[in-house]
A and B are shown apart, each in its own frame.
Chain A
Amino acid sequence: MRGLLEGKTVPVLIVLLAIVLFWYVMAAVMNAPWQTTLNTRAGLTDVPLFEFVAQTYAQDKPVLPAPHQVIGAIWNGLFGAAITAPRSLAFHASITLGATLLGFALGTALGVLLAVIIVHNNASDRSLMPWIIASQTVPILAIAPMVVVGLGAVGVTGLLPKALISMYLSFFPVVVGMVKGLRTPEPIQLDLMRTYNASPLQVFMKLRWPASVPILFASMKVGIAISLIGAVVGELSNSAGGGLGVRLLTGSYNGQTIQIWAALFIAAALAAILVMLVGWGERLANRRMGVRA
């Protein structure tokens, strides 16, 4: 028992359980006023407490849906419809996933490229770095609708506008991380490369790049999480294109709270899976690089 409490799993599970319980209580409390109105209209008085609580968990458009309602909606959305049907959550999730991955790939490539330029050229370091940092104090997601509509006006629609937003968000952690990573080799190691008469390209491929891989993966974990956010927000401006963002938006217009929560949970699960995949790649790369985890 003591050993169990000292690990991480049991405390996490207990906290999760507490959250779920709290959620059920809140769902009953928050849905109660509307349920009372409904019951009064139907002429039902003296509903037993137990039955009343059950009613609050079965509303169509609850203020706060109970967890099992959300899970039911997710289940229906994933397996209840053909994967190509617009009703299917898997369909929308795949659209968001596509934009996320494309934006993430573009952002990582851009970030690495910028970092390489910055590390090798003092003038670029001084001119680019302050602006790269400033670019992130700008609430860039505000630009999302404009990018989507602006590119749409000149005929670029679909995945690319959303991916561009994801790219803008995800390049930043990669640049910052990679600049640090490419500079990890110590002067003594660089001097050694010089005594080998290594060309700048060889120094890069054999020393700087391998030294920066662990940091690259750490930054990519941050990058993929925010590129999903970028994709979801990008979808808010193009309701015809589909995606989890569109589910959120239509859900909010129609008051379909269960739909909103389901889309939210799918997005969360997607983020978790993507971060886990990058983390897995990180462990793999670290092992090959000889880092002890």
Chain B
Amino acid sequence: MSRLQRILAVAAALVSALTLLLGLAGGISVPLLIFGVAGLLTVARFFTPVSLWIDGAVAAFGAWALLDGLELFDVEPLWFWLALVACWLFAWLFVERLAQAIRAKAMPDALGIVIPVVFGLSLLFAWEVVTRGANVPQVLLPAPSMIWERLTASVPTLTADFVQTFKAVLAGFALGCSAGFVVAILVDRSPFLKRGLLPIGNFVSALPIIGIAPIMVMWFGFDWPSKAAVVVAMTFFPMLVNTVAGLNASSSIERDLMRTYAASYWETLFKLRLPAAAPFIFNALKINSTLALIGAIVAEFFGTPIVGMGFRISTEVGKLNIDLVWAEIAVAAVAGSAFYGVIALIERAVTFWHPSIRGGRT
């Protein structure tokens, strides 16, 4: 056991004991009582080996017991919060031990996925228990269960908003990326343009381009084309800069080889330089997938027909319907991650030869 693990183990058992002590005097619920006893019993680990799965099970049971005990009091007593801390400590200890076991090859590598999942779940759980237990104002932060309820209740609205916004995202993304790509290939043929355009492209990538949203809304109207225009402007420069950098990625020895084959410009481009540029291009696509979503949503703050994710967020915030806003954000988060994930998958398939993918880590 490492020092950190010992500290965690002692702390977890101690806090469990405190929970029991205070809870017995203050009307503890039966599940939490069991959790406290189980937590206390884990001190056995200092005499006999205790599997890490027991720590995990104690943490999971404690989480269930805490959720079960949420409605017992108007204002949660101190021991309730101690139980939350104990539960968190057990989860941490479990993750810590699992990580060590994987590192020492005592556990299969595939179990590594458990660690971030446990972390995410405990975050969600702490959010739920703290917001409901401490009666956090709903305006500030609604509980996840409430957001979920709202999300399932307003599926039609959310779908309509999603479709409206994603029209702009996809159209803008496709146009902006392909325009950046084509311009990069054109620029690549002229060293003069390359020297003149690239510093400007790099500079513009750092600018708050999102600010052109009001102008685009004026030019292209309230509907989705104006949002697509913002997305085009936002995605163009990262693509341009990355593609030009990628086209220079092939080494001169490889280009010389192509020359000895008497390959034409286009043959060299398609068979050598573009494949070599693929990692850069995908990097730009990944950056742009996030930028596109942000651009479309923020552009909707400046005026839309009465549908769209950005529109919904800005109006419902005004009405203090924060749970609907969170539901909208949850949809945006899932959509954003999925968009990114799809591009990452395509990247794996296309650039299978790249060291970062052959090495097994993305």
**A interface with B by C-beta (< 8 Å):** 5, 7-8, 11-12, 14-16, 63, 121-123, 125-131, 134, 136-143, 145-146, 149-151, 153-154, 221-222, 225, 228-229, 232-233, 236-237, 244, 248-249, 251-252, 255, 257, 260-261, 263-264, 267-268, 271-272, 275
Contact = CB atoms under 8 A, between A and B. Distances in A.
Given A5-B192, A11-B196, A15-B196, 11 more contacts: A8-B199, A12-B195, A129-B116, A138-B332, A138-B337, A146-B313, A146-B317, A225-B207, A232-B208, A248-B213, A257-B218
Contacts of A264: 208, 211-212, 215
19 contacts: A8-B195, A11-B196, A14-B196, A122-B103, A134-B337, A137-B336, A139-B294, A141-B294, A142-B298, A142-B310, A146-B329, A149-B318, A149-B320, A150-B322, A153-B320, A232-B210, A252-B214, A252-B218, A271-B208
Interface stretch (B11-19, B136-144, B345-353): B136-144
A72 to B, nearest CB: 18
Contacts of A143: 329
B291 to A, nearest CB: 9
A18 to B, nearest CB: 9
Interface string B193-225: 101110110010011101111110111000000
Given A5-B192, A139-B297, A149-B318, A121 B4 contact: yes
Nearest to A236: B301
A38 to B, nearest CB: 18
A154 B140 contact: yes
Contact of A130 (B92, B116, B195, B328): B116
B6 to A, nearest CB: 15
A151 B317 CA distance: 12
A127 B119 contact: yes
Contacts of B168: none
Contacts of A140: 294
Contact of A126 (B115, B214, B320, B337): B115
Contact of A136 (B92, B137, B290): B290
B58 interface: no
Interface in B90-130: 92, 95-96, 98-100, 103, 112, 115-116, 118-120, 123
B190 to A, nearest CB: 10
Contacts of A222: 206
Contacts of B214: 248-249, 251-252, 260
Given A123-B95, A232-B211, A272 B206 contact: yes
Query: Interface residues of A: mostly helix, strand, loop or mixed?
Result: helix
Q: Which 5 A-B pairs have the closest CB atoms?
A: A11-B196, A252-B214, A127-B119, A15-B196, A123-B99
B292 to A, nearest CB: 9
Contacts of B337: 134, 137-138
Nearest to B201: A15
Interface in B311-336: 313-314, 317-318, 320, 322, 325-326, 328-329, 332-333, 336
A249 B192 contact: no
A272 B112 CA distance: 42
Nearest to B118: A127
B303 interface: yes
A271 B215 CA distance: 20
Interface in B201-252: 203, 206-208, 210-215, 217-219
B115 to A, nearest CB: 4
A161 B162 CA distance: 27
B336 A127 contact: no
Contacts of B304: none
Interface of B: 4, 92, 95-96, 98-100, 103, 112, 115-116, 118-120, 123, 137, 139-141, 192-193, 195-197, 199-200, 203, 206-208, 210-215, 217-219, 289-290, 293-294, 297-298, 301-303, 309-310, 313-314, 317-318, 320, 322, 325-326, 328-329, 332-333, 336-337, 339-340
A11 B192 contact: yes
Main secondary structure of the interface of B (DSSP, over half): helix
Contacts of B309: 142
B162 to A, nearest CB: 12
Given A252-B302, A264-B211, A268-B207, A12 B200 contact: yes
A237 B208 CA distance: 17
B140 A271 contact: no
Contacts of B215: 252, 257, 260-261, 264
Which of A16, A138, A261 has the largest count of B CB atoms less than 10 A from its CB? A138
Contact of A252 (B100, B112, B217): B217
Q: Which of A126, A139, A140, A141 has most chain B Cβ within 10 Å?
A: A139
A16 B218 CA distance: 25
A142 B199 contact: no
A67 to B, nearest CB: 14
A137 B322 contact: no
B332 A145 contact: no
B108 to A, nearest CB: 14
Contacts of A128: 119
A32 to B, nearest CB: 15
Nearest to A244: B211
Contacts of B208: 225, 228-229, 232, 264, 267-268, 271
A127 B289 contact: no
Contacts of A268: 207-208, 211
A127 B91 CA distance: 12
Nearest to B202: A275
A152 to B, nearest CB: 9
B334 to A, nearest CB: 9
A48 B175 CA distance: 39
Contacts of A236: 298, 301
Contact of B301 (A126, A145, A150): A145
B112 A126 contact: yes
Contacts of B99: 122-123, 125-126
A97 B326 CA distance: 29
